[in-house]
């Protein structure tokens, strides 16, 4: 058995080595060293197959090994068995049942990137940055991202409860929700909020988002808008192509939008604006926060680095990596982080995020913002912390629906545009001159 396993492992490693042997001899040397280490895995599998108290299927062991390997890489790489691969393929094509949150792992914790608009999680009050510590009374301490997604998904009409800690606080909050079909409109809201200022809220980047945004902005301009506020807060991202197309609406031809770098030649690319901008004169302000991720960060970074607009709000999430799904021969697949995104100025988005030009916080920063994973779950093990529910305590700190009167980030953006307009209205003949 051990000999057979060694031959199989050697075969796959040899195939991998052949890919790099001509272009990069160093890779072949690394692969040779890897085989020496893989013998340990072969030994472990052999022992389990022959000596474990119960019979284990070889495929289960192989799947478990791959899950373990991908789980050590980052918060986004994972293994998909055939059923999981089929589910994720169906999700990208249309509706799916769930509660409507984008999640990822950060600092070893399961975190909400952002809730999607008009979904059960959004309506319940789940926030970007919330730490999910339980799903249906099951602790998430050793739960993989893929397992968490599977537990959160389900048939429409079924119930799921999540327990969260917000901003590293000592209190926990329970959210009981009914799963539903998730289908999100990319543009949630648009309107004139001042005589010359338009407002658009993009909640996700989809195939039609660029066309929808172009039509909306043209309508606002026809109503007198000379300045535009684009709200990307709590936008978890979406399609890369959509972010690039929207950037092209505002940037000059041939300006760099984003570039990506990985280890292989195919993972390196840059994206530039191909055409003259549709909206070259309108003044722009983008609102971002900790729930702005992925495609949102690409758009915000392009606008900031090309000095086309001003960013207002809070540092974005920092989900600046590319995952490639590689199908395997048994209809399973590996989702692997293969490259990282960089803004035009060369800043990596991965784990860093975009820093706004003008930082406006909407809630106090927790003293425990760097709380450790073990500290959180030790609190649950002790079972001495006070547990609170939404009915017992009001926990909403920032409004989910845009409050145009009390939204301090939005009001700041409006005042900036007003200030720019006043400054530009001052002509040389009215300005005070200091001649020598």
Question: Does residue 19 surpass a pLDDT of 50?
Answer: no
Per DSSP, which regions of 142-182 are E strands?
159-165, 172-178, 180-182
- Domain assignment present for residue 332? The answer is no
Question: Does residue 3 surpass a pLDDT of 60?
Answer: no
Per DSSP, which regions of 166-236 are E strands?
172-178, 180-182, 187-194, 197-202, 227-231
- Domain assignment present for residue 433? The answer is no
Report how far residue 55's alpha carbon sits from residue 251's, in angstroms, rounded to the nearest whole number: 62
Active-site amino acid positions: 294, 305, 319
Taking only the tens place, the pLDDT of each residue in 335-379 is 998 899 999 999 999 888 999 999 998 754 443 444 565 666 665
Sheet containing strand 358-359, strands side by side: 187-194, 197-202, 227-231, 283-288, 310-313, 358-359
Name the more confident of 36 and 209.
209
Q: What pairing do the DSSP bridges indicate for beta strands 197-202 and 159-165?
A: unpaired
Mean pLDDT of the chain: 81
Region 324-344 average pLDDT: 91
- Domain assignment present for residue 79? The answer is no
Instruction: With CA atoms as reference, report the closest residue to 340 among 311, 303, 298.
Output: 298
Region 230-234 average pLDDT: 95
pLDDT score of 365: 42
Q: Retrieve residue 19's tokens.
A: 């890919």
Q: Which residues pair with residue 112 across a beta bridge? A: 103
**Do 413 and 229 contact (CB within 8 A), yes or no?**
yes
The SS3 assignment for 11 reads helix
Region 3-14 average pLDDT: 46
Element (DSSP H or E) covering residue 109: strand 109-115
pLDDT score of 166: 81
Do 208 and 316 reside in the same domain of the chain?
A: yes
Do 216 and 347 reside in the same domain of the chain?
A: yes
Do 359 and 369 reside in the same domain of the chain?
A: no
Do 237 and 250 reside in the same domain of the chain?
A: yes
Do 153 and 226 reside in the same domain of the chain?
A: no
Residues 6+ apart with CB under 8 A from 8: none
Q: What pairing do the DSSP bridges indicate for beta strands 187-194 and 180-182?
A: unpaired
CATH number of residue 157's parent domain: 2.30.42.10
Provide the number of structural domains found in the chain: 3
Residues 6+ apart with CB under 8 A from 119: 98, 99, 100, 101, 180, 182, 184
CATH number of residue 245's parent domain: 3.90.226.10
pLDDT score of 334: 93
pLDDT score of 23: 52
Determine the Cα angle at 245 with ends 244 and 246, to 5°. Answer: 90
Report how far residue 252's alpha carbon sits from residue 140's, in angstroms, rounded to the nearest whole number: 46
Do 380 and 349 reside in the same domain of the chain?
A: no
Determine the Cα angle at 412 with ends 296 and 117, to 5°. Answer: 40
**Number of Cβ atoms within 10 Å of the Cβ of 298:** 28
The SS3 assignment for 122 reads helix
- Domain assignment present for residue 70? The answer is no
**Do 135 and 151 contact (CB within 8 A), yes or no?**
yes
Report how far residue 201's alpha carbon sits from residue 182's, in angstroms, rounded to the nearest whole number: 19
Q: Which domain holds residue 123?
A: 95-182+364-397
pLDDT score of 71: 83
Question: Does residue 436 surpass a pLDDT of 50?
Answer: no
What are the two backbone dihedrals, phi and then psi, of residue 243, each rounded to the nearest 5 degrees? Answer: -65, -40
Q: Which residues pair with residue 269 across a beta bridge? A: 260
Question: Does residue 399 surpass a pLDDT of 50?
Answer: no
Report how far residue 171's alpha carbon sits from residue 389's, in angstroms, rounded to the nearest whole number: 9
**Do 272 and 216 contact (CB within 8 A), yes or no?**
no
Do 212 and 350 reside in the same domain of the chain?
A: yes
Do 234 and 355 reside in the same domain of the chain?
A: yes
- Domain assignment present for residue 283? The answer is yes
- Domain assignment present for residue 62? The answer is no
Question: Does residue 180 surpass a pLDDT of 50?
Answer: yes
pLDDT score of 217: 97
Counting beta carbons within 10 angstroms of the beta carbon of residue 20, is it exposed (0 to 12), middle (13 to 18) or buried (19 or more)? Answer: middle
**Cα–Cα separations (whole angstroms), residue 62 to 36, 65, 86, 118:** 18, 5, 19, 40
- Domain assignment present for residue 100? The answer is yes
- Domain assignment present for residue 265? The answer is yes
Do 311 and 234 reside in the same domain of the chain?
A: yes
Do 344 and 240 reside in the same domain of the chain?
A: yes
Do 244 and 296 reside in the same domain of the chain?
A: yes
Do 123 and 196 reside in the same domain of the chain?
A: no
pLDDT score of 90: 57
pLDDT score of 316: 94
């Amino acid at each position: 058995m051990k000999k057979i396993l060694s031959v199989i492992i050697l075969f796959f490693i040899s195939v991998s080595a052949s890919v790099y042997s001509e272009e990069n001899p160093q890779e072949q040397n690394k692969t040779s060293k890897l085989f020496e280490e893989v013998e340990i895995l072969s030994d472990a599998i052999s022992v389990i197959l022959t000596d474990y108290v119960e019979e284990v299927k070889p495929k289960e062991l192989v799947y478990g090994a791959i899950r373990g390997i991908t789980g050590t890489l980052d918060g986004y790489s994972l293994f998909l068995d055939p059923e999981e691969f089929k589910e994720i393929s169906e999700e990208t094509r249309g509706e799916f049942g769930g509660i409507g949150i984008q999640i990822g792992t950060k600092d070893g914790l399961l975190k909400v990137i952002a809730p999607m608009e008009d979904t059960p999680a959004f309506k319940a009050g789940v926030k970007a940055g919330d730490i999910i510590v339980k799903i249906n009374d099951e602790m998430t301490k050793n739960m993989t991202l893929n397992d968490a997604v599977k537990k959160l998904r389900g048939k429409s009409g079924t119930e799921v409860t999540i327990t969260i800690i917000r901003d590293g606080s000592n209190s926990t909050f329970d959210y009981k929700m009914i799963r539903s079909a998730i289908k999100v409109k990319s543009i949630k809201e648009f309107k004139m909020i001042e005589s010359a200022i338009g407002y658009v809220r993009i909640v996700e980047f989809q195939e039609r988002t660029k066309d929808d945004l172009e039509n909306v902005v043209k309508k606002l301009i026809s109503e007198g808008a000379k300045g535009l506020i684009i709200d990307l807060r709590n936008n978890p991202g979406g399609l890369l192509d959509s972010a690039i197309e929207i950037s092209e609406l505002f940037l000059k031809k041939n300006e760099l939008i984003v570039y990506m770098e990985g280890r292989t030649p195919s993972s390196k690319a840059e994206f530039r604006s191909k055409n003259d901008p549709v909206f070259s004169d309108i003044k722009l302000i983008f609102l971002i926060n900790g729930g702005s991720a992925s495609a949102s960060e690409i758009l915000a970074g392009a606008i900031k680095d090309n000095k086309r607009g001003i960013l207002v709000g809070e540092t974005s999430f920092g989900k600046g990596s590319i995952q490639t799904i590689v199908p395997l021969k048994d209809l399973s697949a590996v989702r692997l982080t293969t490259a990282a995104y960089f803004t035009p100025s060369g800043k990596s988005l991965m784990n860093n995020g975009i820093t706004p030009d003008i930082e406006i916080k909407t809630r106090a920063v927790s003293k425990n913002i760097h709380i450790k994973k073990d500290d959180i779950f030790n609190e649950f093990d002790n079972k001495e912390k006070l547990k609170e529910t939404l009915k017992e305590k009001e926990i909403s700190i920032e409004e989910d629906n845009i409050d145009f009167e009390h939204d301090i980030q939005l009001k700041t953006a409006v005042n900036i545009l007003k200030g720019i307009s006043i400054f530009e209205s001052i002509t040389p003949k009215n300005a005070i001159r200091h001649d020598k």
